[in-house]
Structure 1
Amino acid sequence: MIEFQHVHKTYRVAGREIPALNPTSLTIENGQVFGLIGHSGAGKSTMLRLINRLEEPSGGKIIVDGEDVTAFNASQLRGFRQQVGMIFQHFNLLASKTVADNVALPLTLAGKLSGSEIDKRVTELLARVGLSDHARKYPAQLSGGQKQRVGIARALSTNPKILLCDEATSALDPQTTASVLQLLAEINRELKLTIVLITHEMDVIRRVCDCVAVMDAGQIVEQGSVADVFLHPQHPTTKRFVQE
């Protein structure tokens, strides 16, 4: 579903080139829950945002579902992004809109469905994430876990092929984290979605991921199935994560 071919990213800061991601090749299979783990500054957020070109690569190719997204023009990119849902660490909900309106927003912007079709889709999505009774509430009236469930419903609204999770549980307490991860696992199983999840917590990887790549200083230092990486960690960074 997702393939990185020698992709790298460099930022220009005060006239200096700062590498954020060294040349990286990676394959994520269709329907996988793939975890990227690393400490702050390891390059995992950059790598995640390269998938839907929220970050522009400095070089290399990104192939998604057989198409070279690095070659897309602005119009193609808008269409492609409707196939990629994104869940954010701090929810990114609009405080002035209700739960239902937040979920409906991507559908309204896409302009492909009628008002009644959007209402029906929103009702389905809120039922899926267990928030049917909260449609008319505002974000300020919700708990952190409920806000993240709204974020998940919004990310699913356009029937994406891929779900990107940017530290989706790091702002939540352990019990709420467990329920959100269980929801993501159900979504992956039922909708056959490919999920790419970044985190700095090995327990999140253990609970929900099929495969994991460990990042350090802008490069992948180890990758494999979760069981292999947990049982036979090779790199010092991986060993530290496993020990924690």
Structure 2
Amino acid sequence: MVHGAWADGSSWNQVIAPLQAGSLDVIAAPLPLTSLSEDVTALEHAIERTQGPVVLAAHAYAGAVISATRNERVKSLVYVSALAPDEGETVADVFYREPPHPEAPQLVPDEHGLIWMPADGFASAFAQHASPKQNALFAATQRPIAVACIQEGVQRPAWKEKPSWFLIAEEDRMINPATQQFMAERMGAKIHSEKVDHMPLVTAPELVVEIILEAMGPARP
């Protein structure tokens, strides 16, 4: 499990628990969110802690991170309302491909080059289907993403060779659903399109679990 911006590995808790209940080995890769290259390195270090075939599941920004893996043990890729730049593109290129939702927050870097989510952005756009308590926790525990993460061009993405799945969040107010549809079709992914918000791993975890289990097919011996 690979988390996106303004989050950490705990954002996957409601997906991890049922997978573990099915006797699967699951870990959440901690990303520093300092640059795309450094995040890819952090993912590779997490993969080194595993054995056997691997399925990578990414949320949002982390789609670019899992796309950069070169590990031969990675058999499938799962994109959950994620970003998947093609070779030579940046995360910003695809994120800003379509006009933002009217409720989308204004994202401006601070003097340190870090982008923080405005506190009210969690309830209005990040996870509008989550409870007020959940969104208050998101705001309190958010981790900023560095501008460098979204400005680095990607190399040839792994989805050109590895089977991929994509959950399109039809009610996403952060990443335009039309952009998600474009990326999913471009990569030739197995597409699931549902009326969920940007954070289905929290607001509709059963859907995410179902897709991950489906993606395990190529990873089974």
- Alignment TM-score > 0.5, same fold: no
Q: Which has the higher strand share?
A: 1
TM-score, with structure 1 as normaliser = 0.27
TM-score, with structure 2 as normaliser = 0.29
